[in-house]
Structure 1
Amino acid sequence: MARNSSRAQVVRTEATELQQRLDFEAAIDTIVADLVVQGPASPWAQLPSEGPVTVDGRTLHVAISSEAGRLDLNSGDIATIDRALQGLGAAGSDRAAFRTAIEGTRADGKRFMGFSDAAPILALLHSLPCPARWFTLYSGLTQPDETQTDDELARAMGRTGSSGFGRQPMKPGTPLRLNLQHPDGSSLQTIIRVGGPNRPYDVLHWARSIQC
Structure 2
Amino acid sequence: MPSLPAKLGAILGAGALVATIAIPAYASVQTTEVAQPQSTDVQTVALASTVTVSAPTRDGYAVTAPQPVIVARTASFASVKSINRYTGIAPPAQAYSGAALIAYAAQFVGVVPYGMGNSPTTSFSCDGYTQYVFAGFGISLPRGADHQARLGVQIGQAQAVAGDLVYWPGQHIGIYDGAGGMYNSPNWGRYVEHVGSLWGSPQFIRLKV
* TM-score, normalising length: structure 1: 0.22
> Which structure shows the bigger proportion of residues in helix conformation?
1
Structure possessing the higher relative contact order (Cα contacts under 8 Å, 6 or more residues apart): 1
Higher radius of gyration, 1 or 2? 2
